[in-house]
Structure 1
Amino acid sequence: MRAILGLLAAAAVIAGWFILTSGQRKTTPVTRTFHAQMGDEPLVCDQLVYDNPGGDGQFRVRDFRFYLSNLSLGQGDETFAEPDSYHLLRFDNEDRTHSITLPEVPLKSVDTVQILIGVDPAANGSIEVRGDLDPNSQMAWNWEVGYKFVVVEGALKLGEDVVPLVYHVGFSENAREVEFMLPPDVFADGDHEVHLIVDLAKFFDGTAQIDMQALPSVKFNRADAEILADNYAIMITLAF
């Protein structure tokens, strides 16, 4: 009897191990790599190489960062949403890229990618530390609870004059949801990485064109912030 119980226990352990490892095999890591560009070229920082899209002068970019949240992947009617999905994207490395890896995605394939540029209202009104959200960070407002969704800083040169450029956008209504449909063969080679272009030129010249001389700073004006939010809503595209 003890021998039989021992065999049953061993069988249960083996079956449990098989189910566990089989479940693990059904998950796949998926990486999304964002490439910062200005138009068709990689973003160049700290150099006066870009023309003011809506007026005179040349400008440089010193800092560019933004929050992505609510990252999710879809396959048909199935959706995988990353828990505590709050990422601060920065592009101060040499290749101007930022990668986000979801280590375990329980989908056989991926048809759609959804992201939110900014922070959802619930998290934006909270001081809880989640993901890359930190109320003590440089991305938090110091005048109310909440975060700067997109930060772009630099300078505009007009003749001999240099004007600081400061664009901090982050009212709750400035969050923008973006969805991408992936090609059916995107993972055909076994490389589970999605490449996306972040075109900073669209921030200044998207649905509306910005004259940096007339609008060198945006922080507290809701109308101006809305214009920039509509621009950055189209700054991320799939790379093919």
Structure 2
Amino acid sequence: MKLQLKNIIAVVAISTLMFSCSSDDDTPIVEGSTGKMEIEFDNSVNGDDLILNTNYLNTNGETLKISRFSYIVSNFVLISADGTEKVYPKNESYFIINEGEQLTTVHLVNVPSGDYVKIRFGLGVDQDRYGQGETAQQDFWDVAAANNLTWTWSTGYRFINFQGTFTSPLVSGEKEFMVHQGSNSATDNYREITLDFPTTAKVRTDASPAVHLIVDANKILDGEAKLKLSDYMNVANTSASIMGGQALITIAGNTTRMFVVDHVHANGH
């Protein structure tokens, strides 16, 4: 009898949960209403969680110990199944992701209620925004500077700050490395990424979906194009750095494939 009662309770609980989920799915969109969305950037290295100061071997035969991984994401656009785009306000659309400071979630507020199937965002700061001058973006510049994502104003933002130490069969001992991705007077390395959601993100006044992205830092050097840090050693042979030239253009291409949507929570975590 007790077993039957437990089974009945379990069935009722499951039925209630299914009804609740079904009801959420059918909640109509109220014209003019808004909600929230979270976008979580879960940093990783080739399928493993990114843990700073831990060794990771890449297919270039180099072992990286990453001490810093931070970057700028910007210009968020949410896209519905019919192609309608809802552009997040530009002045509010620049965010810092910094693994070392546990800054890994973007909070979008006052998002128009809707059923979204894609997201587009920028990696870095676009030339239009940068061209508005330092005064127009002083607050964000200060935050970026505090997270080691700026050079001087004349040379602009670091879009990605990726550094640590590495070992290689081609280099004696452990060496420091720095990869600082940004734009310069010769090239615009700002890139936009468009990602499909595996399930629809339904934003309502009382429903705030959370989009979980996996970000693979390994792609920076070990993506579609391969770059060996040992090829970028300084004259003294003490460290490797990539901060300009064709290598950054190549890295900019790699980083467009660094982001994947893992799943969407219907209403937060």
Q: TM-score range by the shorter chain?
A: 0.7 to 0.9
Cα distance in 2 for partners of 1:162, 1:214 equals: 15
Deviation at 1:129, TM superposition (A): 2.1
TM-superposition CA deviations, 1:42-76 (whole Å, max 9, x none) = 102112x2124323x42200000011110111223
Q: Secondary structure at the match of 2:229?
A: coil
Aligned-residue RMSD, C-alpha: 2.6
8 Å contact from structure 2 (residues 58, 218) kept in 1: no
Question: Which residue of structure 1 lines up, in the alignment, with residue 140 of structure 2?
Answer: 132
Q: Deviations over 1:129-169 (max 9, x none)?
A: 26633375432222724111111010013586221101111
1:31 aligned residue (20, 34, 38): 38
Any unmatched runs of 5+ in structure 2?
1-29, 233-239, 264-269
Q: Is the counterpart of residue 179 in structure 1 residue 194 in structure 2?
A: yes
Structure 1 residues without counterparts, runs of 5 or longer: 1-21
The aligned amino acid for 1:104 is N
Q: In structure 2, what is the equivalent of residue 107 of structure 1?
A: 113
Q: Counterpart in 2 of 1:169?
A: 181
Helix, strand or coil at the partner of 1:195: strand
Q: Could you list the per-position Cα deviations for residues 98-138 of structure 1 after superposition, in whole angstroms to 9, with x for gaps in the alignment?
A: 11111211132212211001111022242132663337543
Identity among equivalent positions (%) equals: 22
In structure 2, relative to structure 1, the CA distance for the partners of 1:143 and 1:214 (3 Å cut) is farther
Structure 1 residue 82: Cα displacement: 3.2
* Counterpart-to-counterpart distance in 2, 1:45 and 1:142: 27
Alignment of 1:1-240 (within 5 A): 26-47=33-54, 49-55=55-61, 57-75=62-80, 76=82, 77-84=84-91, 85-93=93-101, 98-125=104-131, 126-127=133-134, 128-129=136-137, 132-134=140-142, 137=146, 138-142=148-152, 144-158=154-168, 161-171=173-183, 173-187=188-202, 190=207, 192-215=209-232, 216-219=240-243, 221-240=244-263
Q: Which amino acid aligns with 1:150?
A: I
CA distance in 2, matches of 1:80, 1:122: 16
Q: Judging by fraction of residues, say which structure has more helix.
A: 2
User: Could you list the per-position Cα deviations for residues 160-215 of structure 1 after superposition, in whole angstroms to 9, with x for gaps in the alignment?
Assistant: 62211011110161111111122344449x55111111101111111211212123
What TM-score results when the alignment is normalised by the length of structure 2? Answer: 0.71
Q: Distance in 1 between matches of 2:106 and 2:165?
A: 30
* Cα separation, partners in 2 of 1:38 and 1:184, compared to 1, 3 Å: closer
- TM (norm. structure 1) is 0.79
Instruction: Count residues in correspondence.
Output: 213
SS of corresponding position for 1:119: coil
